[in-house]
Structure formats: structure tokens, C-alpha cells
């Protein structure tokens, strides 16, 4: 299991760190239940101050019981009291059932927030500081990740890190875009074998995967590192999902599309003659390393293609993410996708489908072009169609992305769209509260597709 995908997202940290505030917002963003263990204790046993008067050991016994109950329930966001992890039993339960994020806070900030507030352990500043120092080592031992705001917690919960240094994986194979191999290098152990693959959609074929299967020499304890754009990480992840019935993998995206979308979320796959990503698997990377410096060599047309995913994310989030500075923009988009993925990791509940805004049309146009059309350029056109069907203005797409109708065979595009939907014409549109899926009459879908195709 990766991060909080199939586990609770548990927030630990000192009093005043903001665990309850962050927890409620994280629960809303990930569509998970929220449990504040301190609130549960007060609801069921009375004020915490009164319980402390009866003795801290009795309070800790009750706290341990409440945390156990929360961990026994469905995947949730759980905010734990500052001293909950002092219990060895609780630490053991957390290690099996939760991805634990340490919400860090400076002691002066914590004291400013809770000093003299009536909390049993926040009456004396000197004692407060000693308690803070004593607990830091425990938090560090228990935590799987850390964060100080909503975005950093979401990124941590899905194993996404802004880092120029990939961890020193042993028994690993590097699956790398052949162009990227000429432009960039990773500081890896000498034992890592290198496996170049074609750039772009040319990599997403059964022949390329077959070659990788034949060439790999790693065991079940080995790693695959995908280094390149979205197509490269798709292939690396799919190979990892299928080789030896599944090995661990790491994504190191080098394109804007990869950093904000393709490398995040565990969807891996290859194309067939019948359509895009028709063969694939959910196989989450253990880590995704984001380094915006890789974008310095990115051609302008590839950057424009990446901006299509950023505009899509901004439309869904209701924020002008495309206007932010580059790293802040990438961070916000990656965090938004992480939240949606954590709400519906395997696209079973429906919410994750909102990430397909514009993509039904995009995939159809890509297939009809023989995958000569860049994914981002196709998404830009697909967003036009989705917004038109939603009754929404298309100004942002036209101003930021400036898509032009593409010359492809209309009937081929239509047949590809029908195959992509694999059944009813249920599309993702944009409403006041973000994306939503709904059935759209065939005549409207066909008309919207035709408007994207040049005569």
C-alpha cells in the first residue's frame, strides 16, 4: 500500500499545531469521514480538563480506546491529541492502519495559540516547552511523513516530494525516455541498469513493454524508476505492475504534464490500435519526485501542452492556478489531484472521474490522429467541448491555451470516442461546485466533437 491510499490519514503533532482545523479541510477535500479524537472523548466521557483531574493515566486509557475505535472504522482523516502517540499500543495500531503525518509547529506558535486556553497541559510556559521538546522524538519516530499546511500534507499522503535527489534505490532498473537520457541524469547507484524507451506515445506499445519484460533482471524486491514525461511513467508503471506480478516503482517526471497529472495517481497503461490506455492497471508509485528544474529544457510546445492540464485543474478547483508562479502552480495542481485520488483511489466511487474533464474528446482526437496530436493540445480542445456542453464561457481556455481545430477523420474520431466511453455517453462537465459526471445526448456530443475538427 502507498501512502494513505488504502489507509487512514492520521494527523499527529503538538497541541496548537492545527490538526483539527487541517483535518476538517482534508476530510472535505478527500471526501473522507473526519474524526477528532479529543472531540470524541469529550462527547462520550466529558471535558478533558475534568478527566485529567481524575489522573492522566485514566485519560490516556480512554484516549487509547477512542483512537482504537477510530482506526477500526472506514478510511478517514483522524486528528489525534498531542499525547496520543505516547501509548505504545496506539503507535502499533497506527503503524498497521494509518499513514501518519506529523503536523509541525514551532513551540512559540503553539504557545501563542493555546497558552492559557484551559488545556490541562498549557498553563505554564516553561513546562509547556519541556513537554514540546520531550515529544519531538516520539513524533519523528511515528510519522510516515510531515507537513505544515494542507498542500504539503496532501502531497506527503501520496508520496509526492519536491526534491532534486532521488533516493538511492538498490536492485533497480531505470526506464528512461531516450531524449531525456541525453539531457538529464539522476544520481543513482552504479548497480542500476538503464533501459531507454522511445519518446512520447511511441513508447506506449506492447512491443516496448515486451522488450522491457525480456530485459529486466530485478527480483521481487527490486524497483523500477520511470524517468521522463507522462508516457514514460505510464510505461514504467505498467511494466512494474505486470513484471513478476508487481514490483515497486518510483516516478520522476520531467514534463509539466507529468508533474501535475500523469505521474500522480497510480493509473498506468499503454495504447492499442483501438484506443488510448485501453490496457493498463492501477499501480501506485511509492514515491513521485518533482524537480521543476527539469522543465528548463522543455520545448515551448510541450510546456503549452502541460498548461492544458493546469487549466483543467484550475477549472475544477475554482482557482486561477495557471496564474501562480511555476513551483507554486505545480504544487497546487499536484495537491489537488492527490486529494481527488485519495477520495477515490481506484475510480470506484465516481469522484475521481472529474479528472477526465475534457479527456473524452481529447482521447478521441488523439486516436484519430494516430497519436500524432500531443495529449495536452488534445486536452485543450477537449476542454472547449466540455465547457460548451456545460454552458460555460471558454475565455480562459482560448486565452491561456489558444487551441486550434485539428485535421483528423471525423468518423474515426467518433468511433474512438465511443470506444473510450465503453458504453453510455456519460461525460464530465463543469458546474458551480466543480466537475460532475452526467449522461449527454449523442447528438450534442457528436456536434461538440465536430466543432473541434477542421474542415
Q: Is 453 helix (H, G, I), strand (E, B) or coil?
A: strand
Instruction: Return the CATH number at 397.
Output: 1.20.1090.10
Identify whether residues 143 and 180 lie together within a single domain. no
Would you say residue 159 lies in a domain? Answer: no
| Model pTM score | 0.93
Of 288, 222, 213, 223, the closest CA to residue 243 belongs to 213
Would you say residue 2 lies in a domain? Answer: no
Structural domain count of the chain:
3
pLDDT tens digit string along 6-35? 999 999 999 999 999 999 999 999 999 999
User: What pLDDT was estimated at residue 99?
Assistant: 98
Domain boundary pick from 84, 115, 150: 150
pLDDT at 177 over 90: yes
Residues 161, 215 contacting (CB under 8 angstroms): no
pLDDT at 422 over 70: no
Q: What share of the chain is helix, strand, coil (3-state, %, to 5)?
A: 50, 15, 30
pLDDT at 1 over 80: no
Would you say residue 77 lies in a domain? Answer: yes
329's grid cell: 502552480
197's grid cell: 524507451
- Distance between CA atoms of 331 and 162, rounded to whole angstroms? 8
Identify whether residues 124 and 234 lie together within a single domain. no
E-assigned strand segments in 291-443: 426-431, 434-439
- Distance between CA atoms of 196 and 192, rounded to whole angstroms? 13
Cα distance from N-terminal residue to C-terminal residue, the chain:
49
Of 203, 160, 164, the closest CA to residue 185 belongs to 164
DSSP 8-class letter at 406: B
Q: Is 256 exposed, middle or buried (0-12, 13-18, 19+ CB in 10 A)?
A: buried
Give residue 289's pLDDT band: very low, low, confident or very high (50, 70, 90).
Answer: very high
Of 192, 161, 179, the closest CA to residue 264 belongs to 161
Would you say residue 303 lies in a domain? Answer: no
Q: Is 258 exposed, middle or buried (0-12, 13-18, 19+ CB in 10 A)?
A: buried
Task: Please give the share of the chain, as a percent, with pLDDT higher than 90.
Answer: 88
Mean of all residue pLDDT scores within the chain: 95
416's grid cell: 474512438
Task: Please give the share of the chain, as a percent, with pLDDT higher than 70.
Answer: 99
Would you say residue 314 lies in a domain? Answer: no
User: What pLDDT was estimated at residue 11?
Assistant: 98
> DSSP string covering 44-103, please?
HH--HHHHHHT-HHHHHHHHHHHHHHHHTSSS-EEEPPTTGGG-HHHHHHHHHHEEEEEE
Q: H/E element holding 269?
A: strand 267-272
User: What pLDDT was estimated at residue 54?
Assistant: 86
pLDDT tens digit string along 242-272? 999 999 999 999 999 999 999 999 999 999 8
Give residue 423's pLDDT band: very low, low, confident or very high (50, 70, 90).
Answer: low
Instruction: Return the CATH number at 289.
Output: 3.40.50.1970
> DSSP string covering 329-367, please?
HHHHHHHHHHHHHHHSTTS-SSGGGGGGTTHHHHHHHHH
Give residue 366's pLDDT band: very low, low, confident or very high (50, 70, 90).
Answer: very high
Give residue 157's pLDDT band: very low, low, confident or very high (50, 70, 90).
Answer: very high
What mean pLDDT comes out for the span 349-358?
91
User: What pLDDT was estimated at residue 303?
Assistant: 93
Identify whether residues 219 and 291 lie together within a single domain. yes
Identify whether residues 212 and 286 lie together within a single domain. yes
Give residue 140's pLDDT band: very low, low, confident or very high (50, 70, 90).
Answer: very high
Identify whether residues 146 and 176 lie together within a single domain. no
289-310 in b/e form (b: 16+ CB < 10 A) is bbbeebbeebeeebebbbbbbb
Residues 268, 224 contacting (CB under 8 angstroms): no
| Domain housing 234 | 172-298
Identify whether residues 128 and 243 lie together within a single domain. no
pLDDT tens digit string along 63-122? 999 999 999 999 999 999 999 999 999 999 999 999 999 999 999 999 999 998 888 999
Identify whether residues 54 and 101 lie together within a single domain. yes
Identify whether residues 176 and 146 lie together within a single domain. no
Identify whether residues 144 and 27 lie together within a single domain. yes
- Distances 428 to 4, 109, 385 between C-alpha atoms, Å: 26, 43, 11
pLDDT tens digit string along 217-227? 999 999 999 99
Would you say residue 383 lies in a domain? Answer: yes
What mean pLDDT comes out for the span 359-365?
95
Identify whether residues 219 and 146 lie together within a single domain. no
User: What pLDDT was estimated at residue 274?
Assistant: 77
Residues 255, 298 contacting (CB under 8 angstroms): yes
Would you say residue 251 lies in a domain? Answer: yes
Domain boundary pick from 261, 283, 298: 298
Would you say residue 91 lies in a domain? Answer: yes
118's grid cell: 484551559
273's grid cell: 490500435
Instruction: Return the CATH number at 129.
Output: 3.40.50.300
Give residue 455's pLDDT band: very low, low, confident or very high (50, 70, 90).
Answer: confident
What mean pLDDT comes out for the span 320-331?
98
- Distance between CA atoms of 365 and 381, rounded to whole angstroms? 9
Identify whether residues 71 and 119 lie together within a single domain. yes
What mean pLDDT comes out for the span 375-394?
96
pLDDT tens digit string along 119-139? 899 999 999 999 999 999 999
Identify whether residues 273 and 368 lie together within a single domain. no
Amino acid at each position: 500500500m502507498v501512502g494513505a491510499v488504502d489507509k487512514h490519514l492520521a494527523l499527529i503533532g503538538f497541541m496548537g499545531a492545527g490538526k483539527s482545523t487541517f483535518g476538517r479541510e482534508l476530510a472535505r477535500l478527500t471526501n473522507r469521514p473526519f474524526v477528532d479524537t479529543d472531540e470524541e472523548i469529550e462527547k462520550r466521557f466529558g471535558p478533558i480538563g475534568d478527566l485529567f483531574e481524575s489522573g492522566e493515566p485514566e485519560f490516556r486509557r480512554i484516549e487509547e480506546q477512542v483512537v482504537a475505535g477510530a482506526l477500526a472504522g472506514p478510511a478517514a482523516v483522524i486528528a489525534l491529541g498531542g499525547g496520543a502517540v505516547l501509548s505504545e499500543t496506539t503507535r502499533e495500531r497506527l503503524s498497521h492502519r494509518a499513514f501518519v503525518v506529523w503536523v509541525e509547529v514551532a513551540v512559540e506558535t503553539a504557545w501563542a495559540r493555546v497558552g492559557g486556553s484551559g488545556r490541562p497541559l498549557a498553563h505554564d510556559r516553561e513546562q509547556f516547552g519541556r513537554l514540546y521538546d520531550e515529544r519531538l522524538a516520539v513524533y519523528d519516530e511515528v510519522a510516515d511523513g510531515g507537513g505544515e499546511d494542507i498542500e504539503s500534507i496532501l502531497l506527503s499522503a501520496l508520496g509526492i516530494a519536491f526534491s532534486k535527489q532521488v533516493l538511492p534505490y538498490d536492485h533497480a532498473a531505470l526506464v528512461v525516455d531516450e531524449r531525456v537520457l541525453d539531457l538529464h541524469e539522476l544520481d543513482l547507484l552504479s548497480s542500476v541498469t538503464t533501459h531507454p524507451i522511445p519518446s512520447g506515445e511511441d513508447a506506449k506499445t506492447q512491443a516496448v513493454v515486451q522488450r522491457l519484460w525480456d530485459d529486466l533482471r530485478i527480483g521481487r524486491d527490486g524497483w523500477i524508476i520511470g524517468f521522463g514525461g507522462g508516457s514514460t511513467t505510464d510505461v514504467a508503471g505498467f511494466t512494474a505492475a505486470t513484471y513478476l506480478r508487481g514490483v515497486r516503482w518510483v516516478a520522476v517526471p520531467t514534463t509539466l504534464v507529468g508533474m501535475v497529472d500523469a505521474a500522480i495517481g497510480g493509473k498506468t497503461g499503454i495504447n492499442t490500435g483501438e484506443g488510448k490506455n485501453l490496457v493498463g492497471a492501477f499501480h501506485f508509485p511509492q514515491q513521485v519526485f518533482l524537480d521543476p528544474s527539469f522543465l528548463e529544457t522543455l520545448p515551448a510546445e510541450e510546456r503549452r501542452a502541460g498548461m492544458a492540464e493546469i487549466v483543467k485543474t484550475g477549472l475544477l478547483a475554482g482557482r486561477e492556478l495557471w496564474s501562480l508562479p511555476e513551483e507554486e502552480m505545480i504544487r497546487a495542481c499536484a495537491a489537488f489531484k492527490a486529494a481527488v485520488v485519495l477520495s477515490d483511489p481506484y475510480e470506484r466511487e465516481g469522484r475521481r472521474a472529474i479528472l477526465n474533464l475534457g479527456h473524452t474528446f481529447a482521447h478521441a482526437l488523439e486516436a484519430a490522429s494516430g497519436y500524432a496530436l500531443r495529449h495536452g493540445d488534445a486536452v485543450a480542445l477537449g476542454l472547449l467541448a466540455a465547457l460548451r456542453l456545460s454552458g460555460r464561457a471558454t475565455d480562459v481556455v482560448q486565452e491561456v491555451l489558444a487551441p486550434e481545430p485539428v485535421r483528423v477523420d471525423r468518423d474515426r474520431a467518433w468511433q474512438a470516442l465511443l470506444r473510450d466511453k465503453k458504453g453510455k455517453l456519460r461525460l464530465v462537465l463543469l458546474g458551480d461546485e466543480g466537475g460532475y459526471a452526467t449522461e449527454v445526448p449523442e447528438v450534442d456530443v457528436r456536434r461538440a466533437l465536430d466543432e473541434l475538427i477542421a474542415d
